[in-house]
Amino acid sequence: MFKKALLNIAIELGPIIGFLVLVESIDFIVATGWFVAFTALSLALAFYKRRTLALFPLIVAVSVIIFGALTLYFHDPFFFIFKDTVYNLTFGAAIFIFLARDIILLKVFFQEVFAISDTGWVILSKRWGILFLLLAFSNECTRGFLTPEQWALYKLVATGITTIFGVYQFTLTKKYRLPEASPWGLRQ
């Protein structure tokens, strides 16, 4: 169980951690190239280990690869930095647009991971929707006046906040778990 959890953390966070370490020691554009490579490798490893690709990580990986490729092609960090605004704004808005239509987008993406009630899914969706919109806003506020290397430090903080926020959501999945779920609301 512990080994599987470590592998999942490496697959999910390995590319961003690699990027954040590299951007401190090499050029931002080169570090972006490595991030794209790490992301592709992580995606391949996830597929090899799980024999399937979850939709959400696939979307994240595709956005990293597309915006990373634009950054490399144009040799301009703008594209990679702006990716966070586009990504977070798109997901934040989509969550609320789908909720307004009585579709729980996070349930569509993660129902194979979590076994929680629809009430729990709605609360979880609203929380993540707000976080995504706040991250988009904060990225826009910072990208205009920070150097790419300074933005990488902002990205480190934003990633840390997002990770802590995500871990905290287990209190919600625990509270709204279905009878067949683990104590933390995970499917068994």
What ranges do the domains of the chain cover? 2-175
**Global pTM value:** 0.89
pLDDT in tens, 105-124: 999 999 988 999 999 999 99
Number of residues assigned to the chain: 188
Q: Which amino acid is at 186?
A: L
Q: Residue 148: beta bridge partners?
A: none
Q: What pLDDT is recorded for position 56?
A: 80
Q: What pLDDT is recorded for position 5?
A: 60
Using an 8 Å Cβ cutoff, are 169 and 107 in contact? no
Query: Alpha helices, DSSP H only, in the chain?
Result: 2-23, 28-50, 55-74, 78-100, 105-110, 118-143, 148-168, 170-175
**Number of neighbours of residue 114 by Cβ within 10 angstroms:** 25
Q: Which residue has better confidence, 80 or 58?
A: 80
Percent over 90 (pLDDT), the chain: 69
Residue 140 has pLDDT above 60, yes or no: yes
Q: What pLDDT is recorded for position 3?
A: 65
| Rounded Cα–Cα distance for residues 109 and 134 (Å) | 21
Q: Which amino acid is at 147?
A: T
Residue 47 has pLDDT above 80, yes or no: yes
Predicted confidence band of residue 90 (pLDDT cuts 50, 70, 90)? very high
